[in-house]
Amino acid sequence: MPRRPRNELVNRGQIIEILIEDYAFGGKGIGHIHNEHVEFVIFDPNILPG
């Protein structure tokens, strides 16, 4: 199985602040982090938008 490319947006263990914009199925909050090259969708369990 080939290795995935290295994530250059965030590092393991790094604390980031995101805005939870919506709900997904099962009560997960949806947020986004991005820079000029890439965007990640974040699914955070047991969270409220805001």
Per-residue 3-state assignment (H helix, E strand, C coil) for 1-50: CCCCCCCCCCCCCCCCCCCCCEECCCCCEEEEEECCCCEEEEEECCCCCC
CA distances from 28 to 11, 17, 35, 37 (A): 22, 16, 23, 26
The pTM for the full model equals 0.61
**For position 50, what pLDDT does the model report?**
62
pLDDT in tens, the chain (50 residues): 788 777 677 788 888 888 888 888 878 889 888 877 778 888 888 886 66
**For position 49, what pLDDT does the model report?**
65
What are the residue ranges spanned by the domains of the chain?
A: 1-50
